[in-house]
Amino acid sequence: MVVERRTPIQIGEGVKRVLTYTIHKSSEQLAVENTTNRVLAEDLVADHDVPPFDRSPYDGFAIRAEDTGEASQHNPVFLKVVEEIGAGEVAASTVKQGQAIRIMTGAAIPKGADSVAMFEVVKEHEQNSEPMIEVARRFTKGQNISYRGEDTTEGTTLLKKGTLITPGVIALLATFGYAQVSVYQKPRIGIFATGTELLDISEPLQPGKIRNSNAYMIAAQVKEMGGEPVYFGKLKDDFDACFEAISTAIGKVDALITTGGVSVGDYDYLPAIYEKLGAKVLFNKIAMRPGSVTTISEYDGKLLFGLSGNPSACFVGGELFIRPFIKQSLGSTPFLSKTKAVLQSNFPKANPFTRLVRSKVQFKPTGIFVKPTGLDKSSSVTSIAEANAFIVLPGGTRGFEEGAEVDVLLFESESEHNPWIN
Ligand code: AMP
Ligand code: MG
């Protein structure tokens, strides 16, 4: 048997080919409390000013600045307190010359008043059992007033569709009375694990068998990226059974992930399945380690992500190709952020392919440091758990030494910048 020769392409080129495809989802209405991590499908325009009225930013006294015109340490002025209001209340009286209204944070500035003297800067007295305040400094018109519209004005576009809904976004939605929010439907991403050696999570180990970890890992990745994983189960390495299951599943989802079976082994049937389907192969070899056998093809307008069965390689394939695809489909920021970090161990071996080393980045006062989290093999499963970043070591270069500055991709930080384009 002749082993098929595959021509590797660079990661950037692979990402570019994947991103020529997008899943177009319509929107759905959800209660605002169920929208965390979803993506806005409508622009949010302010339909009123925030704050909606002039209000007090402090607990104190609403006064007329001109009444304090001559006030000083040695020449305090005395103002009569005519009313008291808390947040949510509106004063019944107008502040007239020589008067003040006791006011709490968030309460509307009473008519006639144009500044607020905080509790801390006044002395309170009683005169004939009438409350008075003593003010020993000058105030200017507008001092200590939180003005209507100072946060945002009516008509401002606050959020664009495609915005990821974070707690801060939810605060804005609530501010503008959005009990229901229009969000994009989640792309439905089908998942199959392939491999006769695979056991279900709850099965005891048997000779020669391992538990299927990839399906659960990639489902979690898909979820985190904003997609809806649809797990179709695991398949034995049997061409007909795999072909049947895969060709049926495609119609039920927006894209399909398989793990395993994309290499050149005797039981690696995915390439033949793509061929029989008549799928267009975008690439079947990528210049990266791990995951060089990652194969992505298109059938009926849908992408089929053929990820390696090796857990680390499967994880990398998901982060590099599926993440930007799902994110782009949601109109959101597609990439992991890239930064520089100082390497904390040696990498003596050179490699012709770009390496993505599962690593832990630490932000310290002295700089950003990174070290690998475990066994640097595509088969490693333990190295993924602790990782919060990939070290990206360009292919073709010599080894790397401790102290060298390297590129890292951060799992918990996204960017609009494509890290594979300089
Ligand atoms: P394959 O890509 O099918 O050649 O598999 C490569 C390696 O990954 C083999 O050692 C498999 O046993 C292992 N593997 C395949 N699928 C999974 C899976 N779902 N979970 C964990 N390991 C797997
Ligand atoms: Mg296999």
Which amino acid appears at position 51 of this protein?
A: P
Among protein residues, the one whose CA lies closest to atom 3 of ligand 1: 260
Could you give the CA distance from residue 120 to residue 350 in angstroms, rounded to a whole number? 67
Cβ–ligand 1 contact at 213 (below 6 Å): yes
CA distances from residue 141 to 43, 57, 145, 409 in whole angstroms, order as listed: 37, 15, 9, 52
Give domain limits for the chain: 11-25+186-329, 29-50+158-184, 60-135, 335-415
Query: Looking at residue 5, what is its pLDDT?
Result: 80
Neighbours of 306 (CB within 10 A): 27
Which atom of ligand 1 lies nearest, measured to the CA of 237? 3
Whole-number Å distance, alpha carbon 235 to ligand 2 midpoint, is 10
Cβ–ligand 1 contact at 219 (below 6 Å): no
Pocket test for ligand 1, best of 191, 214, 378 (most atoms within 8 A of CB): 214
Is domain 11-25+186-329 in CATH 3.40.980.10, yes or no? yes
Neighbours of 203 (CB within 10 A): 11
CA angle, 147 then 151 then 157, to 5°:
135
The H-or-E segment that residue 306 falls in is strand 302-307
Q: Is the dihedral of CA 281, 285, 287, 288 positive or negative?
A: positive
Could you give the CA distance from residue 252 to residue 190 in angstroms, rounded to a whole number? 8
Task: Return all residues near 335 (Cβ < 8 A) that are at least 6 apart.
Answer: 323, 324, 327, 414, 415, 416, 417, 418, 419
Among protein residues, the one whose CA lies closest to atom 16 of ligand 1: 309
Whole-number Å distance, alpha carbon 3 to ligand 2 midpoint, is 17
For residue 219, the ligand closest to its alpha carbon is 1
Could you give the CA distance from residue 63 to residue 44 in angstroms, rounded to a whole number? 37
Cis, bond preceding 167 (omega within 30 deg of 0): no
Could you give the CA distance from residue 257 to residue 402 in angstroms, rounded to a whole number? 37
Cβ–ligand 1 contact at 317 (below 6 Å): no
Domains 11-25+186-329 and 335-415 share a fold: no
98 three-class SS:
coil
Residue in the structure block whose two tokens are 């400094």: 137
CA distances from residue 250 to 233, 241, 256, 300, 342 in whole angstroms, order as listed: 14, 14, 6, 9, 44
Cβ–ligand 1 contact at 238 (below 6 Å): no
Task: Return all residues near 400 (Cβ < 8 A) that are at least 6 apart.
Answer: 343, 346, 347, 393, 406
Which segments in the chain show pLDDT lower than 50?
A: none
Is domain 335-415 in CATH 2.40.340.10, yes or no? yes
For residue 198, the ligand closest to its alpha carbon is 1
Query: Looking at residue 3, what is its pLDDT?
Result: 65
Query: Looking at residue 422, what is its pLDDT?
Result: 76
414 three-class SS:
strand
pLDDT per residue as tens digits for the range 364-411 = 999 999 999 988 889 999 999 999 999 999 988 778 999 999 999 999
Cβ–ligand 1 contact at 195 (below 6 Å): yes
Whole-number Å distance, alpha carbon 309 to ligand 1 midpoint, is 3
Provide, for the chain, the percentages of residues in helix, strand and coil under a 3-state DSSP scheme, each rounded to the nearest 5: 20, 35, 45
Cβ–ligand 1 contact at 193 (below 6 Å): yes
> Is the separation of the CB atoms in 60 and 117 below 8 Å?
yes
Which atom of ligand 1 lies nearest, measured to the CA of 234? 19
Query: Looking at residue 63, what is its pLDDT?
Result: 98
Cβ–ligand 1 contact at 258 (below 6 Å): no
Cβ–ligand 1 contact at 310 (below 6 Å): yes
> Is the separation of the CB atoms in 101 and 110 below 8 Å?
yes
Query: Looking at residue 230, what is its pLDDT?
Result: 98
Could you give the CA distance from residue 403 to residue 350 in angstroms, rounded to a whole number? 17
Whole-number Å distance, alpha carbon 195 to ligand 2 midpoint, is 4
Could you give the CA distance from residue 148 to residue 52 in angstroms, rounded to a whole number? 5
pLDDT per residue as tens digits for the range 41-76 = 999 999 999 999 999 999 999 999 999 998 999 999
Whole-number Å distance, alpha carbon 224 to ligand 1 midpoint, is 22
Cβ–ligand 1 contact at 212 (below 6 Å): yes
How far is Cα of residue 242 from the mean position of the Cα atoms in its chain? Answer: 35
CA angle, 52 then 53 then 57, to 5°:
110
For residue 295, the ligand closest to its alpha carbon is 1
Cβ–ligand 1 contact at 233 (below 6 Å): no
Q: Please give the structure tokens belonging to residue 271.
A: 């390439």
Question: How would you classify the pairing of strands 228-235 and 180-184?
Answer: unpaired
Q: Please give the structure tokens belonging to residue 118.
A: 């905080």
Could you give the CA distance from residue 278 to residue 17 in angstroms, rounded to a whole number? 18
Query: Looking at residue 397, what is its pLDDT?
Result: 75
CA distances from residue 279 to 129, 131, 141 in whole angstroms, order as listed: 90, 84, 72
Query: Looking at residue 332, what is its pLDDT?
Result: 85
Give the residues across from 152 on adjacent strands.
50
Query: Looking at residue 2, what is its pLDDT?
Result: 59
Whole-number Å distance, alpha carbon 194 to ligand 2 midpoint, is 6
Domain 60-135, architecture per CATH? Beta Complex (2.170)
C-alpha closest to that of 226 among 419, 40, 387, 420:
40
Cβ–ligand 1 contact at 260 (below 6 Å): yes
Cβ–ligand 1 contact at 311 (below 6 Å): yes
> Is the separation of the CB atoms in 205 and 211 below 8 Å?
yes
What CATH code is assigned to 29-50+158-184? 3.90.105.10
For residue 265, the ligand closest to its alpha carbon is 1
Which atom of ligand 1 lies nearest, measured to the CA of 197? 12
Q: What are phi and psi of 183, to 5 degrees?
A: -125, 160
For residue 291, the ligand closest to its alpha carbon is 1
